[in-house]
């Protein structure tokens, strides 16, 4: 964690002290401005943070799983709203109303089919009626989502912001459910407070990428449901496991396929999908999920938007814009600092846990044994080791997606929101530490999030 703080400090200090223009608004590595304030939601954020530090771990261990899911959703929603409301009610809808976001364009669309047919042509800067930056930089799935909200009468900034916030509150529910399905309920319970009280909530509540994260998390959950359908038959008496496997694989394919139509970078979710199947030791869902995922992409292509035709055009627009002026010498590591601010400094502990815990676990000499005090005998030790491997592999998948995104050279700055779908999986790596260490990590995450939201005005 100290390494994460050092990285953040260097990313802030070097441009400020040297005058190095790294081409983001005011407060690199974040797209933000220094605007200290005390807002409406601050007391609620402080109260929720204090409560989770005091009782969060105990509650997560004691509640039945169903009740824990409900509590996680409700508390996550409260945390998201309290941070957003530091800026008052404007904190929920103002950013979505900005001209470079999706909502304004969604209000103007009257024929989405016609929009798809002209989508690629309007991406380049040279087009006289080119798309706003976020529309141009993403496939049309994001625009379609907000277009549907507009058609449903939820097209105001506040209404759309509340929809995105509610979806964002389901992210930890889906991630924890995935971990449990893969055989690590003990670690899921340990992870619950850390996943809910992440600084990522600052961006999840106000950006389209928060909605992307929800689709990605539920895609992983559906894939885990499919991959474990046969094993769950013997445990809970499920009938027709093959039917359930196919249905859940289809749902996973639809969700992951739609993720590809939300953001070009979410193609990297393939790493997460493969990891889920590896952990579950089942490849049966893969062909079904692949067919339905490709089907989503095919439907968009049949209606005028071919992903493979759009991507090189987007790549060119990216380099025609400000990205070409953002120095890679800074952003190759500045991106990681921005991610450490958005996901929280606990990612430093996560990386340490993945590396150290991974080496120790796969040598069959576990260095971290969070359950050793409660699990007795050889069976208990084996169970703890298996659970640990689940979270280590999922966290390693998160880090792999981050590494690939960083070296792609298509993520210079703005990753505090772009990498939101990867953040909860990365944070799982911190759960290999003791409960005492986790409590201190939670303190840091809560305090860091509240200070960040109270001192900086983020751009999305």
Is the confidence at residue 410, as pLDDT, over 50? yes
Domain boundaries, the chain: 2-458
Phi, psi of 306 (to 5 degrees): -100, 115
> Which helix H or strand E contains 255, and what residues bound it?
helix 241-260
Task: Tell me what the mean pLDDT of segment 384-391 comes to.
Answer: 82
DSSP-derived secondary structure for 398-439: HHHHHHHHHHTT--SS-HHHHTGGGHHHHHGGGGGS-HHHHH
Q: In the predicted model, what is the mean pLDDT of the chain?
A: 91
For 243-279, what is each residue's pLDDT tens digit? 889 999 999 999 999 999 999 999 999 999 999 999 9
Distance between the two ends of the chain, CA-based, in angstroms? 26
Q: What is residue 283's DSSP assignment?
A: -
**Ordered DSSP codes for 338-376:** HHHHHH-THHHHHHHIIIIIHHHHHTT--S--TTTTT--
3-state secondary structure of 128: coil
Comparing 448 with 1, which gets the higher pLDDT?
A: 448
Distance of CA 442 to the CA centre of its chain: 18
Reported as a single tens digit per residue, the pLDDT across 115-128 is 999 999 999 988 88
Residue 368 confidence (pLDDT): 43
Nearest-angstrom CA–CA distance, 22 and 328? 9
Are 29 and 338 in contact by the 8 Å Cβ rule? The answer is yes
- CB 435: neighbour CB atoms within 10 A? 13
Task: Please give the pLDDT value at position 161.
Answer: 95
Distance separating alpha carbons of residues 20 and 215, to the nearest angstrom = 37
When pLDDT is cut at 50, 70 and 90, the band that residue 379 belongs to is very low
Q: Does the predicted TM-score (pTM) go above 0.85?
A: yes
CA-based nearest residue to 427, from 167, 172, 225: 172
What is the per-residue pLDDT for 380? 45
């Amino acid at each position: 964690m100290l390494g994460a703080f050092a990285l953040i400090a260097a990313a802030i200090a070097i441009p400020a002290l040297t005058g190095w223009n790294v081409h983001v608004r005011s407060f690199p590595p974040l797209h933000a401005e220094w605007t200290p304030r005390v807002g409406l939601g601050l007391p609620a954020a402080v109260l929720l943070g204090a409560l989770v530090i005091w009782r969060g771990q105990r509650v997560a261990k004691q509640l039945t799983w169903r009740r824990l899911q409900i509590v996680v959703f409700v508390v996550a929603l409260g945390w998201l709203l309290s941070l957003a409301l530091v800026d008052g009610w404007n904190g929920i809808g103002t950013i979505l109303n900005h001209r470079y976001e999706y909502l304004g364009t969604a209000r103007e669309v009257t024929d989405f089919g016609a929009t798809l047919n002209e989508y690629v042509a309007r991406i380049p800067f040279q087009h006289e009626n080119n798309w706003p930056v976020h529309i141009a930089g993403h496939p049309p799935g994001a625009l379609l989502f907000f277009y549907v909200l507009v058609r449903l009468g939820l097209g105001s900034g506040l209404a759309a912001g509340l929809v995105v916030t509610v979806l964002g509150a389901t992210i930890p529910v889906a991630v924890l459910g995935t971990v449990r399905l893969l055989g690590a309920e003990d670690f899921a319970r340990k992870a619950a407070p850390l996943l809910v009280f992440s600084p990522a909530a600052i961006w999840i509540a106000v950006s389209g990428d928060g909605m992307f994260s929800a689709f990605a998390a539920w895609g992983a959950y559906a894939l885990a449901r499919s991959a474990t359908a046969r094993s769950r038959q013997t445990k809970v008496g499920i009938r027709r496991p093959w039917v359930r496997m196919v249905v859940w694989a289809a749902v996973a394919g639809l969700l992951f396929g739609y993720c590809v139509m939300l953001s070009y970078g979410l193609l990297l979710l393939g790493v997460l999908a493969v990891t889920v199947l590896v952990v579950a030791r089942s490849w049966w869902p893969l062909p079904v999920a692949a067919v339905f995922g490709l089907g989503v992409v095919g439907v968009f292509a049949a209606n005028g938007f071919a992903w493979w035709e759009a991507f090189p055009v987007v790549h060119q627009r990216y380099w025609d814009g400000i990205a070409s002026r953002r120095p890679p010498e800074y952003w190759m590591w500045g991106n990681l600092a921005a991610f450490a601010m958005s996901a929280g400094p606990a990612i430093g502990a996560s990386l340490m846990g993945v590396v150290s815990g991974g080496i120790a676990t796969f040598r069959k000499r576990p260095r971290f044994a969070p359950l050793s005090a409660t699990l007795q005998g050889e069976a208990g030790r084996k169970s703890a080791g298996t659970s640990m491997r689940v979270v280590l592999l999922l966290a390693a998948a998160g880090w792999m997606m981050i590494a690939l995104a960083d070296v792609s050279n298509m993520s210079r700055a703005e990753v505090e929101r772009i990498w939101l779908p990867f953040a909860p999986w990365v944070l799982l790596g911190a759960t290999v530490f003791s409960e005492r260490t986790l409590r201190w990590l939670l303190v840091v995450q809560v305090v860091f999030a509240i200070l960040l939201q109270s001192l900086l005005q983020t751009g999305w």
